[in-house]
Amino acid sequence: MLRWLCVYRYCIAVSLILLVFVAGGFTQERQIFFREDFKGLEKWRPLTFPKVPAHTTYSVESKDGESFLKAESNASASALIYKEEFNVYEYPKVRWRWKVDSIYRTGDPEKKSGDDYPIRIYIVFKYDPDKAGGLEKVKYGLVKKMYGEYPPHSTLSYIWASREDQKTIIMSPYTERAKLIVLEKGGKKTGLWQDEEISIVEDYRKAFGSDPPPIASLGIMNDSDNTGEKSISYVDFIEVFKNGR
């Protein structure tokens, strides 16, 4: 009897040690820079475009105790930009959950006339004038005089594309400094929440063939100004993080 009691106590002790170890491992699994659950939009600022008079509507909606971002576009375009910046080498991962009610039937990311998406998540890389060449400084300086701030150095745009046969990495039809990465294609998953996770530095290297600038922020957009169509999309949450050690 004493022998079995000792064995029992030993098993309990080992179980407790394993439980603490595993729990500690889970707490170290992700180190989060920020997580947005869309209780409000105080941490985001609107981004509009001078030649697009109609703006996409962004609002926070709640259902069954959960809140999410609703983006409604009708021949319109504008975006939300997260107000804080982060270092993509320190926090190279982003994950989110999104959903679309419909896609744009005439959407085509390789043409200006079709460069619309019911939802996209941007990684916006900050321009650093101290690391720019002479001609680049002149170009960026002119833009700053016109709009009051420098444009991004470059962007990665993760999109929900319209076409099923769409290739994965595409150069924007507007600028070589913007690359589009297709995560979802077509309308088969419309109305269904989809979970995404991306690696910023790895994707930038694949898309641009070089290392990204270190400082970036996030953007969210539903746009339909080129196609003239309309859609509603949703983002449940978005999280910037790094894997634990």
Residue bearing the bigger pLDDT, 21 or 167: 167
Task: Give the pLDDT band of residue 145 (cuts 50, 70, 90).
Answer: low
**C-alpha distances in angstroms, 223 versus 55, 116, 197, 243?**
9, 5, 22, 32
Res 81: pLDDT: 97
Query: Does a structural domain hold residue 5?
Result: no
Q: DSSP assignment of 159-227, as one string?
A: EEES-TT--SEEE-SS-TTEEEEEEEESSTTTTS-EEEEEEHHHHHHHHHSSPPPSEEEEEEEEE-TTT
Query: Does a structural domain hold residue 22?
Result: no
Q: Tokens 């947005």 label which residue?
A: 36
Res 14: pLDDT: 40
Q: What is the pLDDT of residues 110-143, one digit of tens each?
A: 999 999 999 999 999 998 877 777 777 777 777 7
Count the domains in the chain. Answer: 1
Query: Does a structural domain hold residue 28?
Result: no
Residue bearing the bigger pLDDT, 10 or 209: 209
Query: Does a structural domain hold residue 222?
Result: yes
Query: Does a structural domain hold residue 153?
Result: yes
Task: Give the pLDDT band of residue 18 (cuts 50, 70, 90).
Answer: very low
Rounded Cα–Cα distance for residues 139 and 121 (Å)? 26
Query: Does a structural domain hold residue 19?
Result: no
pTM of the model: 0.84
Rounded Cα–Cα distance for residues 221 and 119 (Å)? 6
Q: What is the pLDDT of residues 65-108, one digit of tens each?
A: 899 999 999 999 999 999 999 999 999 999 999 999 999 999 99
Query: Does a structural domain hold residue 6?
Result: no
Pick the range with the lowest mean pLDDT from 21-35, 104-118, 173-187, 228-242.
21-35
The percent of residues in the chain predicted with pLDDT above 90, rounded, is 71
Q: What is the pLDDT of residues 39-48, one digit of tens each?
A: 999 999 999 9
Rounded Cα–Cα distance for residues 11 and 6 (Å)? 9
Query: Does a structural domain hold residue 51?
Result: yes
Task: Give the pLDDT band of residue 29 (cuts 50, 70, 90).
Answer: confident
C-beta of residue 232 within 8 angstroms of C-beta of residue 98: no
Residue 245 has pLDDT above 80, yes or no: no
Rg (CA), the chain: 22
Task: Give the pLDDT band of residue 24 (cuts 50, 70, 90).
Answer: very low
Task: Give the pLDDT band of residue 50 (cuts 50, 70, 90).
Answer: confident
Pick the range with the lowest mean pLDDT from 5-14, 182-191, 209-218.
5-14
Task: Give the pLDDT band of residue 4 (cuts 50, 70, 90).
Answer: very low
φ, ψ (nearest 5 deg) of residue 10: -65, -45
C-beta of residue 228 within 8 angstroms of C-beta of residue 130: no
- CATH number for the domain spanning 165: value is 2.60.120.430
Give mean pLDDT, residues 219-240: 97
Range of the domain at 127: 33-243
Res 17: pLDDT: 40
Conformation bin of residue 12: beta by default, left when phi > 0, alpha when psi is -120 to 50:
alpha
